[in-house]
């Protein structure tokens, strides 16, 4: 997997630095949905990443946020988010990242997330641990929910179905030490992986939001499931990710919320 990781790192760094350099030069912002933004820089970043990967791996498939799927007969699929946190980016709020994951026969085996504002490069290969700027990382050791700092995000369909989302937020707010909503799933998952957050949940995610980040977090010791505790599927839009120690406690709160 070394070559895959090296190339993923190369294109992620190039894209991330480009995105940051262009952050004060956004030429156009359009809407994909009621509140779902896309900038011209998203498209430029995605083109850079896809073209760079295709040049090295022309027989691989691609699933990218802006252009969708590029299907070929291959066991390998690159899953790309050119800017995770586009709304932040469009408002000059410096919380966003570039995400590149490689899926092999339905399992993510390589993950790279680059935060150009902090110059933090998170990497992982299946079975080989997770790293931040080439140093090993591990999830936190907090074992009680009331001592935990949690993260979440609100889906783009929030205005159409706020009740369930706010119920989770309210219930966890009363049980945890604090909750943060950064607006980028990649930032939340990498923060979990290196112990900054203890747990994270969200609805409405896409494969490119989760692919690289879930591998990095799991390789750092995280437990990751759907909200009902069943096996995670990055094509099902929900996630619960924790340091493992508070996972059952969070599942209990979610169950109580759903029961009301």
Render 100-128 in DSSP notation, one character per residue. Answer: EEEEETTEEEEEEEEETTTTEEEEEETTS
Which of the listed residues 92, 110, 136 is the one where a domain comes to its end?
Answer: 136
Q: How many domains does the chain have?
A: 2
Residue 72 CB neighbour total at 10 angstroms: 12
Contact between residue 165 and residue 155 where contact means Cβ atoms under 8 Å apart:
yes
Strands 149-153, 199-203: pairing kind: parallel
Which of the listed residues 136, 171, 196 is the one where a domain comes to its end?
Answer: 136
* Whether residue 42 sits in one domain with residue 69: yes
pLDDT tens column, 136-183: 999 999 999 999 999 999 987 777 878 888 999 999 999 999 999 999
* Whether residue 113 sits in one domain with residue 87: yes
Residue 105: pLDDT above 50?
A: yes
* Whether residue 152 sits in one domain with residue 103: no
Residue 7: pLDDT above 90?
A: yes
Which of the listed residues 76, 101, 136 is the one where a domain comes to its end?
Answer: 136
Can you give the pTM of this predicted structure? 0.93
Mean pLDDT of the chain: 92
* Whether residue 187 sits in one domain with residue 84: no
Q: d(Cα 121, Cα 114) in Å, to the nearest integer?
A: 5
Give pLDDT, residue 156: 77
CATH of residue 160's domain is 3.40.190.80
Nearest 10 degrees: CA dihedral of 169, 217, 189, 62? -120
Q: Is the dihedral of CA 200, 203, 208, 211 positive or negative?
A: positive
* Whether residue 124 sits in one domain with residue 43: yes
Q: d(Cα 260, Cα 249) in Å, to the nearest integer?
A: 17
Residue 135: pLDDT above 90?
A: yes
* Whether residue 14 sits in one domain with residue 105: yes
Give pLDDT, residue 129: 98
Q: 101 lies in which domain range?
A: 2-136
pLDDT tens column, 171-210: 999 999 999 999 999 999 999 999 999 999 999 999 999 9
Q: Which of 19-23, 207-211, 222-226 bottoms out in mean pLDDT, i.e. has the lowest?
A: 19-23
* Whether residue 192 sits in one domain with residue 132: no
**Nearest-CA neighbor of 20 among 111, 89, 78?**
89
DSSP state of 69: E
Q: d(Cα 189, Cα 171) in Å, to the nearest integer?
A: 21
* Whether residue 190 sits in one domain with residue 92: no
Residue 35: pLDDT above 50?
A: no
* Whether residue 129 sits in one domain with residue 30: yes
pLDDT band at 108 (very low <50, low <70, confident <90, very high): very high
* Whether residue 166 sits in one domain with residue 56: no
């Amino acid at each position: 997997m070394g070559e895959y990781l090296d190339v993923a790192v190369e294109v992620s760094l190039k894209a991330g630095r480009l995105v940051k350099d262009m952050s004060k030069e956004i030429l156009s912002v359009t809407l994909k949905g009621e509140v779902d933004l896309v900038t011209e820089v998203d498209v430029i970043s995605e083109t850079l990443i896809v073209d760079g990967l295709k040049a090295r791996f022309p027989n691989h498939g691609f699933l990218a946020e802006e252009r969708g799927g590029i299907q070929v007969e291959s066991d390998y699929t690159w899953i790309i988010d050119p800017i995770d946190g586009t709304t932040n980016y469009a408002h000059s709020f410096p919380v966003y990242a570039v995400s590149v994951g490689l899926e092999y026969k339905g399992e993510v085996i390589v993950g790279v997330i680059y935060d150009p504002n902090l110059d933090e490069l998170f990497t992982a290969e299946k079975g080989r641990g997770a790293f931040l700027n080439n140093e090993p990382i591990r999830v936190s050791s907090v074992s009680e929910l009331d001592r935990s700092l949690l993260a979440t995000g609100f889906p783009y369909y929030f205005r159409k179905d706020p009740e369930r989302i706010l119920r989770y937020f309210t219930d966890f707010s009363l049980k945890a030490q604090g909750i943060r909503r950064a607006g980028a799933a990649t930032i939340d998952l990498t923060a979990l992986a290196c112990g900054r957050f203890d747990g994270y949940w969200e609805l409405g995610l896409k494969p490119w939001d989760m692919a690289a980040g879930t591998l990095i977090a799991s390789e750092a010791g995280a437990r990751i499931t759907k909200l009902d505790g069943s096996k995670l599927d990055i094509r099902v839009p929900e996630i619960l990710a924790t340091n493992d120690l508070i996972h059952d406690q969070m599942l209990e709160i979610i169950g109580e919320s759903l029961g009301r």
